[in-house]
Amino acid sequence: MSVHTSELPAPRPSPAPPRHRAARAGTALALLAGCNAMVLLDESMVQIALPGMSQGLGLTPVGLGWVINAYLLAFGGLLLLGGRMGDLLGRRKVFLTGVALFTVAAALRAAATSPDLLITLRALQGVGSALAAPSALALVLSMFGEEAARKRAIALYLAVGAASTAGGLLLAGTLSSLSSWRWVLLLNVPLGLLILLLAPLVIEETRPSRGRFDLAGALVSTLGAVCLVFGLTRAAEHPWTDVTVAGPAAAGLALLLVFLVIERQAQQPIVVLRLFRDRNRTWAFAGTFAVQGALIGTGFFLVQFFQQFAGYSPLLSAVALTPVAAAMITMSGAAVWLERRLGPRTLLLAGAVLLITSNVWLSRLTADFGYWGSVLPALLLFGSGMAFCVVPPAILATTALHSDEAGAASSVHNALQTVGASLGLAILVTAGTHAGRDAEQTLPAGASPEQAMSHVFTQSMSAGFLTGAGFAAAAFLAALFIRPPGAAAARTSHP
């Protein structure tokens, strides 16, 4: 029998704190949101630095994909374990450990002398994020027990992350234009140090739960995701029937099935399966997973297109992408207001339509594009669609929970985001690479080498964006299965 949101006991509202406690809670929320900002700032920085990395370390498009995916796989694959560690060891302790590991790896990668070392350090950063991110969101949820306050805190948490994306793009673009991509990679180190310094003063430690680690589940799920992404990435350079493509992909799917068996039998599973008994939460998880493929391609493709083929400097490329963050910030607050009045289902459907539209729009870019008419409107639609597709699932995934489920729910939500982005990027790069090869066979007669490269990349980028539109369509389908608030309440009242 389904367990609906209204059947779960809502968190007990906390009494209004004195002024100094309110200030302490506000500072703590700012630091936890700062952690989210640090993680998203890093994504912006790496996107701006991709062309410099490609030239400085000789990275191919597939190699650039691994610079992103090494981080995402470690992050998403270990998020569940990171959330469980927070529950068992104390969330503040695990949060600070993750921030420290992330900060150290961020400092070291700036000195990387080979692609392999850079990718390894990116993976180490992912481990740090896997420890810090679920504990950060769980700490936010534990500090704000009243529903309206919790929704505002989640919206602020996400909006600060979006603002950091805009700031990160501008800072990274400026540094990359004035110096080197290596300096860009040091940008979030001061923020990490600031969090490590102040967080112990204002964030209270949570009481550790009794239990054990589900190491088998954590290792099998991580290995399954790595094998699946590796196989999909190899498909960019080899036929699908090649043993190095089909073998890892099949092994990845098999390991993920084994993971489900392990979780069903484990006494204390790393994934709390009862979270999926709530229909709306389950479909919100599905939409979160699917929509990542519609989000990941914009920064990956457009930064390279702007700098390598449109003649933009790194700073101008960053400025060109800031409308995404501006729209995300503006519409995140509106999303909370609209979610209360229209319901998450309607908002998710609208967001998916905006993402489909923006991805199809960007797929039509050519080398002689005009920014104001061809790019800016699509980016504004994209940022608005992102807000509508990110805020409602986060609220659905983390509300109406038992007190011991906050860490598990935030871990599952974050894991689906990062693993979905990793799988999405692998599929986008594969689709783009195949389209680029086809474009090589249809080069315009008399095209110069520069024109040929531009034609090939444009066709590759177009295929990537059309694939992203397909991911947004999958999120639209998932949103259709979310019950409107009235229907859910009626079903609960009359089982």
Write the CATH number for 74. Answer: 1.20.1250.20
Q: Residue 387 and residue 478: Cα distance in Å, rounded? A: 17
Confidence of residue 278 (pLDDT cuts 50, 70, 90): confident
- Angle among Cα 463, 161, 341 to the nearest 5 degrees reads 90
Domain that holds residue 397: 22-204+270-482
Angstrom distance (rounded) from CA 156 to CA 329: 9
pLDDT band (50, 70, 90) for residue 277: confident
Is 487 within the bounds of a domain?
Answer: no
Helices (H) and strands (E) in the chain — how many of each? 16, 0
Based on the fold, state whether residues 94 and 74 are members of the same structural domain: yes
* 418 is a domain residue: yes
14: pLDDT strictly greater than 60:
no
Same-domain pairing of 237 and 111: no
Please give the Cα distance from 153 to 135 (Å, whole number). 15
In this structure, is residue 366 part of a structural domain? yes
What are the structure tokens assigned to 198, written together? 């102040």
Question: Are 247 and 180 in the same domain?
Answer: no
In this structure, the answer to whether residues 166 and 59 fall within a common structural domain is yes
**pLDDT reported for residue 4:** 30
> In the Cβ-directed half-sphere of 138, how many Cα atoms lie within 13 Å?
38
Predicted structure pTM score? 0.77
Q: Tell me, yes or no, whether 82 lies in a domain.
A: yes
Does 6 fall in a domain?
no
Average pLDDT over every residue of 236-261: 89
The answer on 232 and 194 residing in a single domain is no
pLDDT at 12 over 50: no
Structural domain includes residue 220 = yes
Q: Does 444 map to a domain?
A: yes
- CA-based end-to-end distance of the chain: 9
pLDDT at 195: 94
**By percentage, how much of the chain surpasses pLDDT 90?**
28
| Any domain includes 11 | no
Distance CA 331, CA 326 (A): 9
SS3 assignment, position 395: helix
410: nearest Cα among 232, 275, 258: 275
Mean of the pLDDT values across residues 347-352? 94
DSSP of 270-299:
SS-GGGGGSHHHHHHHHHHHHHHHHHHHHH
Q: What mean pLDDT comes out for the span 441-447?
A: 79
